[in-house]
Structure 1
Amino acid sequence: MHMSVSTAPEQAPPVDVGPKPRPDLVLVLGSVLVVGIVVAALLIWPDSAKDSANMLFNGSTRIFGVPVQALGLGCLLMAVVFAASRIGSIKLGEGKPQYSTPAWLFMFITAGLGSATMYWAFMEWAYYYLTPGLNITPESREALDMSTAYVFFHWGPIPWAMYVVAGVSMAYYFHVRKGKRLSYAGNVEAVTNGRLKADGLAGRIIDILFLFGTFGSLILTVTLTVNTVSAGVSGLAGTGDSLWLKTIILLSSALVFGISSYLGLDSGLQRLAKLAVGATFVFGAIIFLIGPTEFIAHNTLNAFGLEIQNFVHMSLFTDPTEGGSFARDWTVFYWLYWLSYLPGVAIFIARVSKGRTIRQTVIGLICGGCAGILVFFGPLTSFAIDRTTSGAINVPQVLQDKGGDFAVAELLASLPLGAVFSVAYFIIMLLFLASHLDATAFTISTVSTKHLPHGSDPARGFRLFWVLMLVTLPFAMIAIDADLGVLKTGLTLTAVPFIFLIVAQIIGLVRWLRNDMQYLDPATGLMRLPAALLGADASDNPTHTNSEESTHHADH
């Protein structure tokens, strides 16, 4: 998932006043301590750690499974109401949009792409074929047909709708209600009527949750990417797939971009990241053209139809009588996976959507995001299925015997000029991974730097430190050869708190809209709010104002 966006507050021109910026020792030492304990446990007691991880994953998904599934569908229904009602005409801020409509839509079309999505595009269907949902018989023709439909479902409207709700809440708070800072802590303070202060303990807790949520999401992304590239490189070179090779790939990705950032080459890195995004669509188009083109088109369209036909059942499927784990293992996991990126994406949506209406934002994000996934996943997933049904490669069997990373390598090798495609594929994955690590390290450095002036960047050495920290947990997972179930655990546990944060955003947004619709100017879509409401909290009392001056940057 390619969400390299900053969660730091929007900043004004730098000023040379106040204390000297320095690392927030509570966040830094706390992170080092927790990461150190987890890594030590993984390396010293790998078998016990794996058993504990599986137990924690099963426990957390059982407890939060039904609420998460209901939340996902609820967000989609809310997004539909936004788009279809008067609420959709509300303009998120005055003035013209900063970006042209094509450029704005392209941001959403490409938002779901990243290093891990390149793995899932080839392999996700095989997991569903072996252990399907909806009580379908495993490894049956129906399981094969529904496997692609479930891929589209887990990357489809519901997760994008969760981002819509969070993003609209953030944009409404900042652009319409004139919130004092574009930050998740500021949004939460406003929607809780000022009871949870952004500059107090609540703000610190949100920073910590963001920090560990980032670590959790990166465990899966980094480990999948490194394992896939390592399996492919070892196959091309004719050498064994070793821990040394994986370590070299991991550290080189982190250090090359970390050192480049340290030397001030950020603009070049951003251009490479954009190049990687374009290359993914070129890669998907080539797969579509070299075929089997007819099967790819038919399977993609058929899967889209099956998704529409079974959408409500897929959204709420819990398998209560059989007690199957499909919903917990995949649907609940995926909704939490998407939620782990919530703070950054909500701010990203608010930043790029100023001047747009809520209706435009809903349609642009959901349709754009789904279109990007459909165009990329359709060809790669269908190609892998065709290789299986034609007898060329039994992808599900390779997945079971060797792992998904080796299955990807075999699929790439089966293409014409397989070595060339393999190299291109792995380079794109590494570009995505490295740019993601670099952007994430920048954001974490900002959050964990105290007294950082508005408009200033965190120290480059501190940024490099976080790059290395971010790869520590994935390295431990690689060292103990953790399976996918273990990788899911860290992400799941760190994403759970964001359930409560998005619920708080929803409640606050509903209160705002209920109170503010009387001030909507139908001609312009602007909210003509009285001065007393600008910067106010989510209460229904129009006389309440939030006069506390923002000092959020001083805590970072």
Structure 2
Amino acid sequence: MNEATQTTNRPVFFISAGVILLFVLLSALFTKQVGSMFTMLQGWIVANFGWFYVLATAGFLFFVFFLFFSSYGLVRLGQNDEEPEYSYATWFAMLFSAGMGIGLLFYGVAEPILHYTAPLVSQPGTTDAAREAMELAFFHWGLHAWAIYIVVGLSLAYFAYRHDLPLTIRSTLYPLLGRRIYGPAGDAVEILAVFGTLFGVATSLGLGVMQINAGLNYLGLLPESTANQIWLIAGITILATVSVVTGLDRGMRRLSEINLGLALALLLFVFFAGPTIFLLSSFVQSLGHYAQTLLGMSFRTTPFQGIEWQASWTMFYWGWWISWSPFVGMFIARISRGRTIREFIGGALFAPTLLTFFWFIVFGNTALHMEIFGPGGISAAVADSVPTAIFAMLDRLPWPLISSTLATLVVATFFITSSDSASLVIDIMTTNGNPNPPVITRVFWATTEGVVAAVLLLAGGLQALQTAAVTTALPFSFVMILMCWSLMRGLSIENKRGAFRAAATSPATLAPAEEPETEDTAQIGDWRTQLQTLIGRQRPSRGHTDTETCRPRIRRFMDEEVDPAFKRLAAELQRNGRGVQVDRHPFQATLVVLREGNEEFTYTLRGRTYRRMPFAFPELRGSAGEPTCMAEILLRGGTVSETPLEGFTRDQIIQNFLAEYAKWMGW
């Protein structure tokens, strides 16, 4: 437990765990009372904050569209010359697997059928009701859901990769809170994110286990009951824990590959075994109708129809997506380093949305086609038990036993990977952004997710799951609004400081001081005054390299230029209340700025040798053996720039340090 206690953010971990365990205890002891409380709480939130959820979610979508079409879309999530880590195909596949999972299997058939039998506007059981059913399914699972994920994911990626802040929710509010993100205010943000993620994932796990039980019942293996669902949660949580212990590559990666393959196989089977031409035709029509009605649906609050429909559908989904957003947002941030903001939004908004729409067309419209033109009976099965919807539809296609077994396996593997990856994300939030948190705490959170899903099923089934999502999302939706404000502030400040970025990437162009400085000069506008205006904020790391050539020139550069520059900077930083560490190697020097004992900023200069390539440039054959000696500037995020040793003076080193420090501390 020593490793866990060293890395854990104790206030976040113990407050989150304590409140959640108290909830579990009260739900176990007072199940009926907690169930009644859930019903009252959902009604109160929908009645008083339904308009807010609708307005906020529409605002997130328009905010994302604004960033996509604005000049900020060119900003890269990382260094300006950084390349993406994954190809487009791999990146799209991971985006889709992160966003929906179990929910698509649970609602892919059930939601269109439920809207068809009880539409909001149309007459039940008509072709208009079928059209409206797909319109509503697209609305609930489309652009709004992914815009919510993008707000969180983009904020995390921007502040982590562009400005080297820790990959935690609190970092997204740095322009607004400053160093207070490391105090109670930051802890409160992380606690809200932990609550939202855990209850959002528990909602998915509860839906998943209900569907697994329905599948096993269809296969004649296990009757449907709450008790059996609790046992299934226990068994699958154990499997998720095994996946946690075996590690990210051996466990979660392989399971993710398996469930994506199984889900694709199931999708293609239904597409070709069902009414294929009808599905393609309805896909085109539904896309057009969605685009036509998007604006009106985005602001619909149903004030004249009452709150029941809104509570069961739109409010539940908006709450579910918001509560999932720390989990999905952190995941897509981790796989998107090196993308521009426009690439990030385009990939995370449009590609997964189109795949989700195709899923609903294949499963939902196959069921509607059966209901309207075929044998029917699916609406009756859904009315009897929502989790059985997909199995009722598969039963009317060829090889129902095989396809139903496949569907059950897909839900089970999605269950395991959701629990595993969510426990990792929660653990990252409770360990100050540690990307590799201790296994023991990940096991704790994986187990807790299963326990919370179990008590929610005991306390009210689907109603309790919906209420948990809506309730925990309410406070985090305010955090997301602050994220939008903070991201815009960070982008606008960086845009205003473009001159600093240009100077930092071209150190050789910095003009030297007009006259030599002495240690007691402190005139207005000199580098010491610039430094004093910067003092104020955050953190980085190191690298080491040796060179085989240019050694004499690099040693002389380090002794005559770098050492004196670092000495003058260290003295002035200490005079302004900062701690300083200088790490000196023969061909590399690192200056670390400390604030209250914590690493705030790191600046490294190292010598490198480059040789010309005569096979690529024949005109240089005569000087092929001549090396070029370069000074390489490194920050926490990697190499920033390079410049020839000759002419890079101590004054230019100081100015370059100030430029990078200003870029880092600009907020």
Shorter-normalised TM range:
0.7 to 0.9
Aligned to 2:399: 417
1:520 positional shift: 5.0
Alignment map for 1:379-398 (pairs within 5 Å): 379-398=362-381
- More strand by proportion, 1 or 2? 2
Is contact 1:119–1:224 with CA below 8 Å preserved after alignment? Answer: yes
**Cα–Cα, structure 1 residues 111 and 39, in superposed 2: closer, same or farther, change >3 Å?**
closer
1:446 positional shift: 4.2
Aligned to 2:464: 486
Is contact 1:437–1:470 with CA below 8 Å preserved after alignment? Answer: yes
Letter in 1 for 2:458: A
Is contact 2:172–2:486 with CA below 8 Å preserved after alignment? Answer: no
1-structure distance, mates of 2:226, 2:144:
38
Match status 1:48 vs 2:28: no
Alpha-carbon RMSD across the aligned residues, in angstroms, is: 3.1
Match of 1:172 among 144, 147, 158: 158
1:423 positional shift: 0.9
1:41 positional shift: 4.2
2-structure distance, mates of 1:221, 1:125:
19
Match status 1:38 vs 2:38: no
1-structure distance, mates of 2:92, 2:277:
28
Aligned to 1:432: 414
Aligned to 2:42: 57
1:104 positional shift: 2.4
- The structure that has the greater radius of gyration is 2
Identity of aligned residues (%): 24
Letter in 1 for 2:184: L
Is contact 1:70–1:316 with CA below 8 Å preserved after alignment? Answer: yes
Is contact 1:412–1:421 with CA below 8 Å preserved after alignment? Answer: yes
More divergent stretch after superposition (263-272 vs 492-501): 263-272
Aligned to 2:216: 233
2-structure distance, mates of 1:347, 1:264:
18
1:23 positional shift: 6.0
More divergent stretch after superposition (209-218 vs 107-116): 107-116
1:91 positional shift: 2.4
Alignment map for 1:62-77 (pairs within 5 Å): 62-77=47-62
Aligned to 1:506: 484
Match status 1:495 vs 2:447: no
Letter in 2 for 1:87: Y
Could you list the per-position Cα deviations for residues 8-61 of structure 1 after superposition, in whole angstroms to 9, with x for gaps in the alignment?
xxxxxxxxx999637666555545553444344444444433332121112112
**Cα–Cα, structure 1 residues 343 and 444, in superposed 2: closer, same or farther, change >3 Å?**
closer
Could you list the per-position Cα deviations for residues 65-98 of structure 1 after superposition, in whole angstroms to 9, with x for gaps in the alignment?
2222222222222222222232222222222222
Match of 1:161 among 141, 147, 153: 147
Letter in 1 for 2:148: M
1-structure distance, mates of 2:8, 2:404:
41
1-structure distance, mates of 2:5, 2:304:
61
Match status 1:320 vs 2:303: yes
2-structure distance, mates of 1:509, 1:32:
30
2-structure distance, mates of 1:170, 1:529:
26
Match of 2:175 among 172, 179, 191: 191
SS in 2 for 1:219: helix
Greater relative CO, 1 or 2 (CA 8 Å, sep 6+)? 1
Could you list the per-position Cα deviations for residues 159-192 of structure 1 after superposition, in whole angstroms to 9, with x for gaps in the alignment?
222333333333332333x14322211222x131
Is contact 1:123–1:381 with CA below 8 Å preserved after alignment? Answer: yes
Letter in 2 for 1:515: I
Aligned to 1:122: 109
SS in 1 for 2:98: coil
Match status 1:547 vs 2:534: no
Match of 1:271 among 254, 262, 276: 254
Letter in 2 for 1:275: I
1-structure distance, mates of 2:358, 2:342:
24
Match of 1:221 among 188, 204, 209: 204
**Cα–Cα, structure 1 residues 180 and 468, in superposed 2: closer, same or farther, change >3 Å?**
closer
SS in 1 for 2:219: helix
For structure 2, the 5+ residue unaligned runs are: 506-531, 541-594, 599-667
Could you list the per-position Cα deviations for residues 426-447 of structure 1 after superposition, in whole angstroms to 9, with x for gaps in the alignment?
1111111111112222333444
Letter in 2 for 1:171: A
Letter in 2 for 1:160: W
| TM-score, length-scaled by structure 2 | 0.71
Match status 1:142 vs 2:128: yes
Is contact 1:116–1:224 with CA below 8 Å preserved after alignment? Answer: yes
SS in 1 for 2:178: coil
Letter in 1 for 2:136: Y
How many pairs does the alignment contain? 514
| TM-score, length-scaled by structure 1 | 0.84
2-structure distance, mates of 1:151, 1:500:
26
**Cα–Cα, structure 1 residues 20 and 141, in superposed 2: closer, same or farther, change >3 Å?**
closer
Aligned to 2:437: 457
